[in-house]
Structure 1
């Protein structure tokens, strides 16, 4: 299933309490449960003013639908074409 990075502009999000983040995660998970297994939230990175979320979904439209139903912005949705890490630099045998 394709992976997507969702960039959410949310000024001040880095200042949210653990309780507020917990509530936001619950909102997202409730929408995901209603949408079914075709979309999965992998994890998110919270920065000062943005959240970067990693999702698996069949297409961008499904990611947008989740954002609309959950009430979270999806300012930019990018499909992941490859994943690299330090092991990518290792010599192929």
Structure 2
């Protein structure tokens, strides 16, 4: 199943409190529950003004539906084509 990285512009994201991040996470999980098991959230990276979220989903359309239902921005959605890490250098 395809993996996607979603870039979400969220000014001040890095200053969100633990409670605010928990609320965002709970909202995301509730929407995912309604969408069913086809869309899976793996993790998100919080920077000063953005969130970078990693999802597994059958289509970009479902990623956009999750964003719409949750009221989250989805400013850029990129499908992951390959994954590399330090062990890639060894091959």
Please state which band the TM-score falls in when normalised by the shorter chain: over 0.9
* Structure 1 position 87, deviation (Å): 0.4
How do 1:1-93 residues align onto structure 2 when only pairs under 5 Å count?
Answer: 1-91=1-91
TM-score for both structures, normalised by structure 2: 0.99
Query: Displacement of 1:64 after TM fit?
Result: 0.2
Larger radius of gyration: 1
- The runs of 5 or more residues in structure 1 that have no matched partner are none
What's the offset of the Cα at 1:36?
A: 0.2
How far, CA to CA, are the matches of 1:13 and 1:71 in structure 2?
Answer: 15
How high is the TM-score relative to the length of structure 1? 0.97
**5+ residue gaps, structure 2:** none
Q: CA deviation at 1:77?
A: 0.1
Q: For the residues of structure 2 that align with 1:61 and 1:19, how far apart are their CA atoms?
A: 30
Once superposed, which parts of structure 1, at least 4 consecutive aligned residues long, lie more than 3 Å away? none
Give RMSD over aligned pairs: 0.4
Whole-angstrom distance in 2 between the partners of 1:33 and 1:60 = 18
Post-superposition offset of 1:41? 0.2
